[in-house]
Each structure stands twice: as structure tokens, then as C-alpha cells.
Amino acid sequence: MSMRLRFALACAGVFFVIAGTALVSVYFVVRASLQYRASVFTPNSIVLPDDRWGWLSSQRFDDGYELARKFALKVHGTYQDSVLDNLRNAGVLTVLAGTGLAFGVGWRTAGMVLRPLRNVTDTARRIVQNHDLSERIGYKGSRDEIKELTDSYDVMLDRLARSFDGQRRFVANASHELRTPLTINRTLVDVAVRRPDATEDVKRLGESLLLVNARHERLIDGLLALTEGEQAVLDRRPFDLADVAEHVLDQAAGEAAEREVTMHRLLDPAPTAGEAVLVERLVQNLVENAIRHNHPKGEVWVTTRRRADRVELVVANTGLQVPPYEIETIFEPFRRLHGDRLRSDRGSGLGLSIVRVITEAHGGTVAATPRDEGGLTITVELPVHSEGGSV
């Protein structure tokens, strides 16, 4: 039960117990007050009203006396039963009606008391959906428990914002600082390998160093994309996901042909909005993974379509069997399948992590399912962009 319902039931329960106790007490007091009293119903003599001459008067144990006494007792019993029945029926109805009224008052009062908490919940939901840690509750009420709670929540958001901003700046700065020496190393090694007097050993060593250097460059690019993807996309511009997918597939056609992978495309219009460059990186990572984590003469299927208020990008590929228990871990950074940790030609292990953060930054979802024949099917859903409207 919700807190509001519990509070209303508590108010109704308290009223029911108090009112029921009061009703029972009044009932027994009235009942005791109407009990038979010997001094009233067994006098020494009975003098009836308007008996001037004493002809209708009776002494105790006379027949007239007993007849009058029995009649009085009968009238008293009838009156007592009627009074107690009326008291009981009216009291029960009053208690039930008051209990219902107490429930309604408790429900309304709880709503008024919990309204600031609903504001806190709405603010937290907006922060989660928009990935915007700059928003605050800013409760302006009196200094009470709600005020202390909202102030603590704002302080927590301040610390989280500073922590995330510091982490992003660190990754971005470190990535930029590392990119320069890697570029210099690549240039020096390339020059050394292309020298006319370079021996075969030097050339093989240079090729290995270039391969390692390329892997490090991809790792740095992945960290930068991961940092950018974790930020909320505020400037949402409309574009067609099918156009982005077609552009990425055209660029990947050379690598697919080199690896003897056949690509199939079914690109229906899928209008959405956001940062097209980031979405292009998302599609590129999925297509590259589908090609590189495949076997020779394998296949890749890329589909875009619109479904109600969502657009879908589906990338499926053949390949090795993927255990279902590894599906949840493939979106974590630096996680690879099938023991590919030492293979630099298959990426840095950030591809699907980047896909997930870019998808979430655009308000979408991503899911992966293993194919029975081997390989994966990855589905990305993004909000649709209707003409003349917003996402």
C-alpha cells in the first residue's frame, strides 16, 4: 500500500476504535439507567391520576395493584428495548459514516502533506530521463522534515554533478594528452619502416608497433566517445536513421569485402532527432562489431524501421555461439567475448559500451539476444520524430 493509503486507513481505524468505544460506553450507561428498580415498580400502594375519591387506588398485593404493576413493567420493557435499539442502530450508522469521513479527510490531508515529496519524485525522474544533474528541487517551504529532505537531495545532486564533471574532464584531458605522443610515435615508426635501408626485422617490428599504436588510438577515441555519449543531448535535430545506416554501410563495404562478409540491408524510413554524429558512431560500432566478430563468408543484416512512437535499428550477424549469461556483460567497458582480449584487430572493448551510453543519452534503449545459429541480434530503439513536433 502507498503511504497515502496507509495514512488514510490509520485515520479511519483510530476514529473507528474511539467512536466504537464511546458508543459501547453510552449503550451500557443508557441500559443501566433504564434497568428495573424495585422502589419504582413495587410501591406500597398505587394511586392512579385523577382519582379524587380513592376508588381507583390499590394497596400492595391487591388484584388491581398487580394488574397495574404488570402493565407498567410491560410498558417499561417495551420502552427500554425501543430506546436501546434506536441507540444501537443510530450509533452504528454514525460510527460507519464517521469512519468513512475520517478516511476521506485522512486521504486528503496525506495528499497535502505528501505533495512536496511528489515534487521530489518528479524532479528525480526528470533528472534520470534527461541526464541533467544541474536541475535542483529548490523547496521553499517551512523548516520541517520535508525541507531537510529536499535540501539533502540538492546537496547530493551538487556532489554528483561535481564528481561526474570531474571524471569527464579527467578522461577527456587524459585522452587528448595521450593522443599527441601516439601520433608522434606512429609518424616516427612509419618513417623508420619506409626507409630504404630498413631490414626485414625492423619492418616486422615496425608493423607490430603500428598495430599496437593503432589499438591505443582506438582506445583513446573510444574513451572520448564514451565521455561525450554520457552527456545529455540537448540540441536535438531531426534526421533519418536510415540515411545514417546507409552511409555507415557504404563506408564498411570495403572491410566487409576484405573479410568475405556479405551485408544485407533493409532500410525503411526511421525519422528521429538528436546528435547525428553520435548516432553515426553508434551505428558504426554495431556494424564493425558485426563484421569483425564474424567468420569468413558470414552474413550481416542491418534493418531500420518505424514502430508507433519508436524507431528501430536492428543489426544481426552470424558468428560463434554466444552464451545467454554473457549478454548482460557485453555492454560493459573492456568486455570481450570468446577470449578476444589479446586480439587488437577487434577493437578496444568499448564499442558496445559506447552504443549503450549514446542510446541512453538520446532517450532510447538497446538490447542484445543470441541467435540460435550463432552470432548476435542487437536492437536499438530511439524516440520517433514526427513532422512539426518534437521527440
Structure confidence at residue 165 (pLDDT):
79
Measured CA to CA, the distance from residue 269 to residue 245 in angstroms comes to 11
167 or 103, which is more confident: 103
For 274-317, how does the pLDDT look when each residue is reduced to its tens digit (9 = 90+)? 888 788 888 988 999 999 888 888 999 999 999 888 999 999 99
Measured CA to CA, the distance from residue 250 to residue 241 in angstroms comes to 14
Chain mean pLDDT for the chain: 80
Q: Which region, left, alpha or beta, applies to residue 326 given φ > 0 means left and ψ of -120 to 50 means alpha? A: alpha
Percent of the chain with pLDDT over 70: 80
Exposed/middle/buried for residue 126 (C-beta within 10 Å: 0-12, 13-18, 19+)? exposed
Q: Rounded to two decimals, what is the model's pTM?
A: 0.52
Which residue carries 569527464 as its cell? 168
For 17-37, how does the pLDDT look when each residue is reduced to its tens digit (9 = 90+)? 999 999 999 988 888 877 766
For 37-47, how does the pLDDT look when each residue is reduced to its tens digit (9 = 90+)? 655 555 555 55
Signed CA dihedral, 291, 294, 296, 298: sign only: negative
Query: Strand (E) positions, the chain?
Result: 45-46, 58-59, 237-240, 262-267, 271-274, 299-307, 310-317, 365-370, 376-383
Residues 291 and 300: beta-carbon distance below 8 Å: yes
Averaged pLDDT, 327-346: 60
Measured CA to CA, the distance from residue 378 to residue 289 in angstroms comes to 11
Measured CA to CA, the distance from residue 10 to residue 180 in angstroms comes to 68
C-alpha cell at 130: 534527461
Measured CA to CA, the distance from residue 284 to residue 78 in angstroms comes to 94
Structure confidence at residue 343 (pLDDT):
44
pLDDT of residue 15 exceeding 90: yes
Least confident of 28-37, 45-54, 152-161, 259-268: 45-54
Alpha carbon distance, N-terminus to C-terminus of the chain = 35
Measured CA to CA, the distance from residue 218 to residue 157 in angstroms comes to 33
For 171-205, how does the pLDDT look when each residue is reduced to its tens digit (9 = 90+)? 777 777 777 888 888 888 888 888 888 888 888 88
Give the SS3 label for residue 235: coil
Structure confidence at residue 65 (pLDDT):
60
Q: Which amino acid is at 372?
A: D
